[in-house]
Amino acid sequence: MKKKVVVIGAGVAGIEAAAHLALMGYDVTILEKGERIGGHVLQWDRLFPTQRPASEIQDYLNQQIRNPNIRLIAQTCLIKNERNNEQFNLELSDGNVLTADAILVSTGFDLFDARIKEEYGYGIYDNVITSCDLEALFSSEKPITNAQGEPPSRVGFIHCVGSRDEKVGNTYCSQVCCVTAVKQAIEVREKLPRSEVFCFYMDMRMFGLRFEELYKESQEKWGVNFIRGRLSEASENLDGSILIKVEDTLAGRPLKMRVGLLVLMVGFVPSKGTLTIGKLLGLDFTPDGFLKPADEYIDGNSSNIPGIYLSGTCKAPKTIPDTLTDGRAAALAISEYLASTS
Amino acid sequence: MPDWGYQIHKDRQIDFDRNDRRLAQYIRKYEPTFKLCISCGACTATCSTGNLTEFYNIRRLNILLMRGEIDEIWSQISKCMFCGKCELVCPRGVSTRKVILLMKEGIQKIKENEQI
């Protein structure tokens, strides 16, 4: 009889792992609490560093899931887990019960709720938006305007919103926001050639292949400006524009500037699903609230419980290529485990 | 009236909206590599002028230029000897020597109310 794997979460990592497990001949069931597969990719228009349409990744995932060994159960959550020797009995929110020989947790991340960083004015001032809102605006193909319906003459991007900030309890770097800011800054300049764009950063973390080149291109070709300094507070002018105050740390002097639109680069937080499922299954957490692998160096997909595996951004912030790679790695780890059990 | 020694301090804040950024635009136009500065400070580290005289910091002058703070540039820029070592060490290929030359030229034009 085919061994059964249950994958929790139909995002990038979950689908990629499921596809490879299905190719190896396992019987795979994916549980997804939402209606659609793809996770956060659905919310994005184009991807760094090459401006590739996110829909192409979505198409790839739709293709990957087409395997008769894969069954998708959408709009369903796991509510109870009982272990019976080497098998798991999983009770679902629709009342059904599944058995599994191994579980893969790929419950992902949520975007940081920018309202928590109250001094930045998200949810208070109309012209303060998040990187995700801007992406929705790009997807809509509507012209980029401020809340007053005019194209903003100056756009500010604030890096590290909800990342590297003990005041909101997130000490880690979310990795992808720096390069996303550079990508979005270029897109704003592309769509609004007469606008000025300023990125406010603490460090520019251009770690990936072609990221540094994109950063240079943003300066050279698109004239994007970079100011090193973290926003202290934003306030609204009478005309709805936003006054921001930073220290220009390279000049060693405080600086104030008016922008027509302020974009907050929101970081990763462990998703609500990651917290719920982690607790339900009895998994270990890192101090930041992500799921903790058995060994971060050499066994990044095993959890503290035999038979339960971890993949993707439930463990830490990751780019899409890294998440896909991690999904494939998890599939291999699970197949090795299943081969060793009876 | 007795002089108590009190003075009005100049505001240290850079008021970006009020500042005159014509000089930065002028330099971007005639030396586009200026846009590529990432403020690493290699130029400042190698600069003989900066090592031997006070307050001369080419990395900082670049930043002030981009922010439209030209008074400080004017007071420092004549110290440059145009040796060009800064340009040799720049990892982003900024023609720093040309930038300084254009700074001097541009400031002169602004002071003489010429169009730049």
Give the residue from chain A lying closest to B29, CA to CA. Answer: A223
B10 in a structural domain: no
Q: Tell me if A258 and B17 make a contact (CB, 8 A cut-off).
A: yes
Q: Is the pLDDT of residue A60 over 90?
A: yes
Decide if A160 contacts A267 (C-beta within 8 A).
yes
pLDDT given at position B28: 94
* Three state DSSP letters for chain A: CCCEEEEECCCHHHHHHHHHHHHCCCEEEEEECCCCCCHHHHHCCEECCCCEEHHHHHHHHHHHCCCCCEEEEECCCEEEEEEECCEEEEEECCCCEEEECEEEECCCEEECCHHHCHHHCECCECCEEEHHHHHHHHHHCCCCCCCCCCCCCEEEEEEEECCCEHHHCECCCCCCHHHHHHHHHHHHHHHCCCCEEEEEECCCCCCCCCHHHHHHHHHHCCCCEEEECCCCEEEECCCCCEEEEEEECCCCEEEEEEECEEEEEECEEECHHHHHHHHHHCCCECCCCCECCCECCCECCECCCCCEEECHHHCCCCCHHHHHHHHHHHHHHHHHHHHHCC
Q: Region of A4 please: left (phi>0), alpha (psi -120 to 50) or beta.
A: beta
* Test mutation, B38, B44, B59, chain A, max A CBs within 10 A: B38
Q: Residue range A243-257: average pLDDT? A: 96
Q: Is A79 on the interface with B (CB under 8 A)?
A: no
Q: Residue range A26-47: average pLDDT? A: 97
B60 in a structural domain: yes
* Test mutation, A235, A248, A259, chain B, max B CBs within 10 A: A248
Which residues of B lie closer than 8 Å to A, measured between beta carbons? Answer: 12-17, 28, 32, 35-36, 38-39, 59-60, 63-64, 66-67, 69, 92
Q: Is A194 on the interface with B (CB under 8 A)?
A: no
B85 in a structural domain: yes
Give the Cα separation of B64 and B66 in Å (integer).
5
Q: Tell me if B14 and A251 make a contact (CB, 8 A cut-off).
A: yes
B102 in a structural domain: yes
B87 in a structural domain: yes
Give the residue from chain A lying closest to B66, CA to CA. Answer: A225
Give the residue from chain B lying closest to A256, CA to CA. Answer: B15
Decide if A57 contacts A319 (C-beta within 8 A).
no
Q: Is A233 on the interface with B (CB under 8 A)?
A: no
Q: In what order do the strands lie in the sheet with A97-100?
A: A78-84, A87-92, A97-100
Decide if A65 contacts A18 (C-beta within 8 A).
yes
Angle at B61 between CA B60 and CA B62, to 5 degrees: 90
Q: For residue range B14-62, list pLDDT tens digits in order.
A: 999 999 999 999 999 999 999 999 999 999 999 999 999 988 999 999 9
Cα atoms in the 13 Å half-sphere on the side-chain side of A141: 0
Neighbours of A146 (CB within 10 A): 21
Q: Which residue range is the domain that position B66 belongs to?
A: 27-111
Give the residue from chain A lying closest to B65, CA to CA. Answer: A251
Q: What CATH number does residue B80 fall under?
A: 1.10.1060.10
Give the Cα separation of A330 and B5 in Å (integer).
72
Give the Cα separation of A188 and A243 in Å (integer).
20
Q: Tell me if A254 and B14 make a contact (CB, 8 A cut-off).
A: yes
Q: Residue range A242-248: average pLDDT? A: 97
B17 in a structural domain: no
**Looking at the partner chain, which of A223, A228, A248 has a beta carbon nearest the beta carbon of B35?**
A223
ipTM: 0.88
Q: Nearest 5°: phi and psi at B60?
A: -70, -35
Please report, in angstroms and rounded to a whole number, the separation of the first and last CA atoms in chain A: 11
Set of chain A residues whose Cβ sits within 8 Å of the Cβ of B93: none
Set of chain B residues whose Cβ sits within 8 Å of the Cβ of A258: 16-17
B67 in a structural domain: yes
Angle at A136 between CA A223 and CA A140, to 5 degrees: 95
Q: Tell me if A223 and B28 make a contact (CB, 8 A cut-off).
A: yes
**Looking at the partner chain, which of B17, B28, B67 has a beta carbon nearest the beta carbon of A248?**
B67
pLDDT given at position B9: 85
Interface contacts A/B by beta carbons within 8 Å: 46
**How many residues are present in chain B?**
116
Give the Cα separation of A209 and A339 in Å (integer).
36
pLDDT band at A94 (very low <50, low <70, confident <90, very high): very high
Q: Residue range A11-29: average pLDDT? A: 98
- On average, the pLDDT of chain A sits at 97
Please give the tally of structural domains in chain B. 1
B21 in a structural domain: no
